[in-house]
Structure 1
Amino acid sequence: MTLTDSDPSSQFNAPQPETGLSSAKKRSLQQAAYRPRFWTLTAIFSLIVNFVLVIVVIVLLTQVFAIKSAIQTGLIDPLYDNFVRMDEARIQTTVTVDTSVAARFDLPLDTDTTVRLSQDTLIDNANVDINSGSLSLKAPADIILPSGTNLPIHLSLTVPVDQQIPISLTVPVDIPLDQTELHTPFVGLRDTVAPYRDLLNHIPNSWEEALCGLNPAKFCAALIP
C-alpha cells in the first residue's frame, strides 16, 4: 500500500528541517549586518576625535607663541641683560674720612732763621766794638737789646713730635665690579640663563616665521597673514 500526501500518517514520517544550521546562518547574517555599522561608527568617532585634537593643537600652538614671547621678553632677556650690566657696572661714590692720626717721630732742624725779641733782653759781658770817627772802643760790656729787635740765628736741633693730627677729607671711590669677587657669581648667573635664552631665540614668534622663515618670500607672506 502506498502512502500519499493525503495520508495523515505520512506527516509523522516526513523528515524534519535542520533547525541548528538555520540558526547559525542567521547569527552569521546578523553579525555581517552589524560589522559595517560598527566600522562606520568607529570611523565617525575617530574623525571627531582627530578634529578636536587638531583644534586643540592649533590653539596650543597659538598660545605657545604668546607664552614664548612673555617668557623671553618678560623674564629671560631682562635677567640676562641685567646680569651683563651688573658685571660691567662700577661703584662710584665719595667717602668722607673724619678721623685723627697719631704722629710720633723726631724732627731734625738744621737751618738759618730770624727771630724777633718779644721783650728787652740783657746780654752780660758782650764784646762791644765801637768805631765812631776819632773814637774807637773795643771792650766787654753789658748791653740791652730792645724789644722787637730781629736776630739772625742758626738752628741745629732735634725736635720730638708726639701729636694727634686731625684728618677730614673726601675720597672719591671708583670700583669696577668685574675686578672684584662679584665677577665670578655674575658670570655664573649669566651663563645659567644663556642656554634658555638661546633656546627661546630659536623658537619662531609667529606662524609666518614658523612656516616661511625669518625672511619670508612675498608669496608665503601673502598666504599667511
Structure 2
Amino acid sequence: MRLLRALGTLFWRFMVIFSFIVNIILVVVLIALLLFIFEIKNQVAEPLVEGLHSSFVGLDQATIDWTIPVRDEIQVVLDIPLQTETIVRLTQPVPLQVNALIDLPGINAYNVNAAVNLELPAGLELPVALDLLVNVDQPLPVELDVRAVIPIQGTQLHDVAQNLRLQLEPLAIALNNLPNNFSEAGDLIGDVLRGERINLLEPNDYSIKPWPGYSITAGYGYELINEPVPPENVPLRTGIVPIGGMPFLDEQIRPDVYNAGGPFEINTAAINNLNAQGIPPQFYSGEIGSLIQLIPRVDSGTSPFDGQAQSVPGVEPTPPPSYDEGIITPEDENEG
C-alpha cells in the first residue's frame, strides 16, 4: 500500500514538473511568435499568398502572341474560266494580206478585186475579248507566317484563372491591410477600442494592381487587333460564374454574385437557360477536347458534337452518346 502511495506521489510530482516545463516552452514559443509575428507576416505569409494570387491574376491577364510558320506545297488542280476584255500589244510586226474591192475612177474601173499587203507595226495596241478555260495542274508553294494574338481572358482559361484568383484574393488583400509592425498594431487596436469599423478587405495599392507586367510584349505592332471577329466565330456567354473560395470571404469580394443567390444558384439557372436554347453541354463543360480526339473514330454520318443538354440537380441526366469501338457483345453474337 505504501508502495502504491509512493508511486502515486512520484507520478504526481512528475506530471507537475512535466506540465511546468511544457508551459514554459509554450510561453517561450508564444513570446517568440509575438516578437517575430510581423517578420513572419511580412517575410513569409504575405509574399507567399500575394505571390500565388498575383500569379493567377497575371495568368488571367496574359496574352499569347506567337507566330506560326507555315511551309508547305499544295497541288492545285482546277480549270479557271476566263472571260474578260483586255488590251494586247504587238511585240513584232504582223504582216497581213487581204482581198479588197478598189475603185479606180481615173481609169474608169470600179470594184476591182485586188490583194492588199499590210503590216501591223510592233507596239500597236489592240482590244481583245477573251473567253477560254485555263487548265491549272501544278504544285503551289505556300509560305506563310501566321501570327496569333490570343488574350487568355477571351478563352475558357479565363474561368480557371479567375477561380484560382478568387481562392486567395481575400487573404491577399487582408494580409496587405494588416499591421506591419507594433506601432501600426497599436493604432489598429486603438481604432477597434474606439468602435471604428475595421475593413480588412478594403482596396489597397496591391489589390488595385496585383500583377506588375510581363517580361515580353504581346500584340505590339499587330495591326488586326481591332479587326471585327466574324459573327459566327464569336463565342456565346453562358452565364456560368466561377465557384470562388471560402463563401464568407468570397461574398465580400463578389457581393453581386451572392445577392443573386450565390454561385450554385446562378450556375443552375445558367445551365437551365442553355438547355432551353438547345446548346449541347460539351461546348461549355470542358468536354470538347476529348470529343475532338474521338473524331477519327466516329462512324460516318455521326457528328461527335451531337448530344443532349447537360442535366441539372433533380433532373435525370441524359446519357452521353456512345461510340462504337469495335467491341462485340454476347448479344451481338447471338443476333449474328
Counterparts of residues 41-120 of structure 1 (less than 5 Å): 53-101=26-74, 102=76, 104-116=78-90, 118=92
Is it true that 1:127 corresponds to 2:99 in the alignment? yes
Give the C-alpha shift of residue 180 in structure 1: 1.7
Once the two structures are TM-superposed, the CA of residue 77 in structure 1 deviates from its matched residue by 0.9
Query: How much does 1:97 deviate?
Result: 3.7
1:156 is the counterpart of 2:143: no
Greater length-normalized contact order (CA 8 Å, ≥ 6 residues apart): 1
Question: What secondary structure does 1:66 align onto?
Answer: helix
Structure 2 stretches lacking a partner, 5+ long: 1-15, 192-336
- One-letter code aligned to 1:157: D
Alignment of 1:158-173 (within 5 A): 158-162=132-136, 163-173=138-148
Instruction: Tell whether the 8 Å contact from 2:102 to 2:114 is kept in structure 1 after alignment.
Output: no
* Displacement of 1:179: 0.5
Cα gap change, 1:51 to 1:170, in 2 (>3 Å): closer
Do the aligned residues in 2 keep the contact of 1:127 with 1:138 (CA within 8 Å)?
no
Per-residue CA deviation, residues 38-68 of structure 1 (Å, 9 max, x unaligned), is xxxx9xx999986765443221222332222
Could you list the per-position Cα deviations for residues 10-58 of structure 1 after superposition, in whole angstroms to 9, with x for gaps in the alignment? xxxxxxxxxxxxxxxxxxxxxxxxxxxxxxxx9xx99998676544322
Task: Measure, in 2, the Cα distance between the counterparts of 1:131 and 1:106.
Answer: 49
Residue of structure 2 in register with 1:200 after alignment: 175
Partner of residue 34, structure 1: none
User: Is the contact between residue 98 and residue 169 of structure 1 (CA under 8 Å) also seen in structure 2?
Assistant: yes
Q: 1:123-155 deviations in whole A, cap 9, x for unaligned?
A: 5xx233667995887535274647737362422
TM-score (norm. length: structure 1): 0.55
Measured against aligned partners, the alpha-carbon deviations of 1:51-103 in whole angstroms (never above 9, x if no partner) come to: 76544322122233222222334321122112212211222344444444536
Give, in whole Å, the separation in 2 of the partners of 1:58 and 1:133: 137
Q: Which amino acid aligns with 2:29?
A: V
Q: Unmatched 5+ residue regions in structure 1? A: 1-41, 217-225
User: CA separation in 1, counterparts of 2:189 and 2:99?
Assistant: 110
Number of the residue aligned with 2:197: none
3-state secondary structure, aligned to 1:148: coil
* Partner SS, residue 168 of structure 2: helix
1:155 to 1:201, Cα distance in 2 relative to 1, 3 A: same
Residues in 2 aligned to 1:148 and 1:49: alpha-carbon distance in whole angstroms: 115
Query: Do the aligned partners of 1:80 and 1:190 also contact (CA within 8 Å) in 2?
Result: yes
SS at 2:150's partner residue? Answer: strand
Please state how far the C-alpha of 1:109 moved relative to its aligned partner: 2.1
The total of aligned residue pairs comes to: 172
Deviates more, 1:162-171 or 1:73-82: 162-171
Contact 1:94–1:171 at 8 Å: present in 2 too? Answer: yes
Q: What is the percent sequence identity of the aligned residues? A: 26
Once residues 137 and 215 of structure 1 are traced to their aligned partners in structure 2, the CA distance between those partners, rounded to angstroms, is: 127
